[in-house]
Structure 1
């Protein structure tokens, strides 16, 4: 069963799902802003404006507080007002940070005026998205779901694939099409969200098990190797303290989520950032409350 369609899903019907990914970040926390919504309430306030109608990914640097948006129109620094373009214009359908500072992996299609191949295959930036190098599968793969793990890269282009270095790939037999792949660069636990339930791997994506007890999560991300958060299609938020094995409902985010990112906060209360139809919102209490990300 596919998730309810969004603009991105309608643009890519072959995936039969919203193919938005989440991004894993390191386990440090940024200075904490105050949440303003009552406990368990959805956010109705508008957050910072989005630079594109097509948000494919969101990443937050826990050390600097920089908020990056991977979009149909390129990569943007949403910390600036207005959001500032980083590098060229490419349709970054897949996007995930690597383990090292400033390293990102991406996939998608070249933008107007770009000399990059179509589709992009897997590309890598070592300078925060300003420039990109070609790694593999240029002209072959448009990875809509993409994440990094301790063992390497897990990606989906119609076939689930794993790679130790982003260059040599092994196909994985999987009877599901992931909307989101969520991992952490210090762990080999990977979550794959599907309309039929949450798939979980503990070996870097090589084998998978359906977690039938988990909620049907559409977006997921890791704050640390063991701490994860997930959002259902209706915005209901859940957190996990054991790498996605079990989940606890905490609250709800309103506004039609397009992408999310999770960073380490207080114990079992990760910070959850979400790009919604009305802007960027953040929770600093594990999803119990949300507020516009630029609120004082």
Structure 2
């Protein structure tokens, strides 16, 4: 497999000076009546004019001669090359790509919407120019393929897959690292260096978004209630222990049970308790 190699062109300012000399010679020939010399000077002038090349900063020019790769000019400046050389300019600047939101299924089959943000740049101009048909389109297609593969490896969250340690929603660092590695491997064939890759958008698809939101809310309510009950039980146990230590207070088992019930209602209720004052003995 061929690789990128450097090409050293001629100084453009020197050739511009040569062009001026040819122009002066041609004008002098016409003036003195030497038509043949003037025509030859004009032909040479026009031919050499097609060899001037400007390479901007963070730019490059891939050179081919009759279909054969001869090298790449990466140093910015004003140059001159053989006019028969074909030149294919490739930018070496870092570029952003924000993919479209695609609908895919996660590991457990839930439809989700996901997109990827990619920062990339051309590293090997030979591969970008000759190993793929269009490296820009290649980046777009491979990003789509990579994000579809990634979504199928992880669940959206662990509400259904409780054993999942990494999910698309919570394992941001791990998922982005896996995405970057996958894209680097895919885009290497085009000579492209992946600077950064991360998930730009992630959500359930519209047809299940409402149901999933209600499920998350229910899970949050259950978790909150569980925490409240655990705390209430602890407080009731502490109250009974304190009362047992106080020798001046004697409670029967029935009174303890009633007190436990009242305390649990007060502590676990989501509304303010209304106290009832007992004014006499119950019969």
Q: Give the TM-score band, short-chain normalised.
A: under 0.3
Q: Which is richer in helix?
A: 2
* Structure exhibiting the larger radius of gyration computed from Cα positions: 2
Q: TM-score, normalised to structure 2's length?
A: 0.18
